[in-house]
Amino acid sequence: MIALTLVAAFFGLILIGAPIAVALGGSAVVTSMLFSPIADGIIGQKLFSNLNHFTLMAIPSFFLAAGLMEQGGLVQRLVGLARAMVGHLKAGLGMTTVLTCIFFAAISGSSPATVAAVGNILYPSLLKEGYSQKYAVGALATSGAIGILIPPSIPLILYGFVTETSIPALFMAGIFPGLLYGVLLLATARILAGKEGIQTRPRASLKDLNRAFRSALPALSLPVFIVVGIYGFPEFTLFGWKNDGGAIFTPTEAAAVSAVLAMVIGFFVYRELTLRDVLRITAETGPRVGMIFWITANALLFGFFLTKVGIPAAMAQLVVDWNLSPIVFLLCVNILLVIVGFFLEGVPTILIFAPLLVPAAESLGIDAVHFAIIMVVNIELGLITPPVGINLFVASSISGMPVLQVFRATLPWTIATVITLLIVTYFPPLSMTLPDLMR
């Protein structure tokens, strides 16, 4: 009865137009008032303590770093490098779009930020070279989804936070699936360009490629610095000096360092960033971070309530009682998350369903790290499906096309996402090889 009331209150609030954060926290409070399973004083304490975590501080820093990169000239250099690498191929600028999204994803941790930063630069160029609007927005909206799979990733940070899973292991798990997704999108860009009638560009000379690489090197140093800082150097001895190995800083500290480095590069290397820009970007970052934190606080209150009444444990026991195989369970999870992706954004999806589904997955021997990547790829699919696919709205604002037309444009590209989801789900070594090397 308690669980039924909780779910009914949640969907009731959604149906009357309440924001997702209000629906999450409000349903928990209403149910608690009716059945009194939680003391009233604990509710306020939980709302505060849910945000009082060092791990969550990585989120505003990565958002700030993404904004500083876009304004400070780092994205333009990444575009230049990607164009020098693949611009001469058939669908060269389309493939440049995908490759730039991969580069930017290795720093920003956010899909909407990736679409916005890369789209503002490349969308006009795609149209100028003769690509159709449909091709251009499809490439941007779908390729931007890589931003939450290749580390660093804000959804993976939240997943690690709510499930107490190692964030460095989650970051490592996202590398190979992210690269696979990128390769499939590059192939899609090439195939779809066959209908566009685009002329190929001359191959960049070694001199031009070297110039583009040197120009982009400061921007490329950011993901390298993050990876080395989080995972450290292996143990080695050099001229009698021994390095014990290990991490240099935490993912949260890496986020802060990336923001500082993006600011330094924008100020002193590319010289395209001003103090006024920094103040504006900081002000623009605040509301976005506040929205995520508000959802997080209420979602964790909702999750605490679910745990208090024993719903995750009951779901795990139900999976055991039904004797589901891991293959069937993961198929059911994918179907559930695809449906959820129509109505919920990535942050509430992680915060609501990870605490529910992870115990059931672990009861079947499915590693929590592998399960995280499955959830994130499902979220990527949700980013490009209406009615709440946020990448669609960002691409719509860039292109001026209606959201429904943007969705239609992404449909051919979605095949790459679905193939990635199937491989990630049923071939665990793709996700687990690198994390297993850390253990």
Tens-digit pLDDT profile for residues 204-225:
888 888 998 899 888 888 888 8
3-state DSSP call for residue 294?
Answer: helix
Q: Which two tokens stand for residue 308?
A: 């208090």
Task: Work out the average pLDDT over 237-254.
Answer: 69
Name the DSSP class of 205: P
Does the global pTM surpass 0.95?
A: no
Q: What are phi and psi of 242, to 5 degrees?
A: -105, 130
Say yes or no to pLDDT of 423 above 90. Answer: yes
Q: Which two tokens stand for residue 315?
A: 């779901």
Nearest alpha-carbon partner for 136 in 417, 396, 418: 396
pLDDT band at 42 (very low <50, low <70, confident <90, very high): low
pLDDT tens sequence across 10-39: 888 878 888 877 888 888 888 877 776 666
Say yes or no to pLDDT of 126 above 80. Answer: yes
Query: CA-based angle 220:221:227, to the nearest 5?
Result: 105
DSSP H or E run through 65:
helix 58-71
Average pLDDT over the chain, rounded to an integer: 83
The predicted pLDDT at position 432 comes to 94
The residues, ordered by sequence, that sit 6+ positions from 158 with a Cβ below 8 Å of its Cβ are 59, 296, 347, 350, 351
Say yes or no to pLDDT of 433 above 70. Answer: yes
Q: What are phi and psi of 329, to 5 degrees?
A: -60, -45
Q: Report the percentage of the chain scoring pLDDT > 90.
A: 17
124/130 Cα distance (integer angstroms): 10
174/181 Cα distance (integer angstroms): 10
Contact call for residues 84 and 204 (beta carbons, < 8 A): yes
The predicted pLDDT at position 28 comes to 80
Name the DSSP class of 267: I
Distances (CA, A) of 255 to 39, 151, 217, 426: 37, 11, 19, 32
Q: What one-character-per-residue DSSP string does 110-145 give?
A: -HHHHHHHHHHHHHHHHHHTT--HHHHHHHHHHHGG
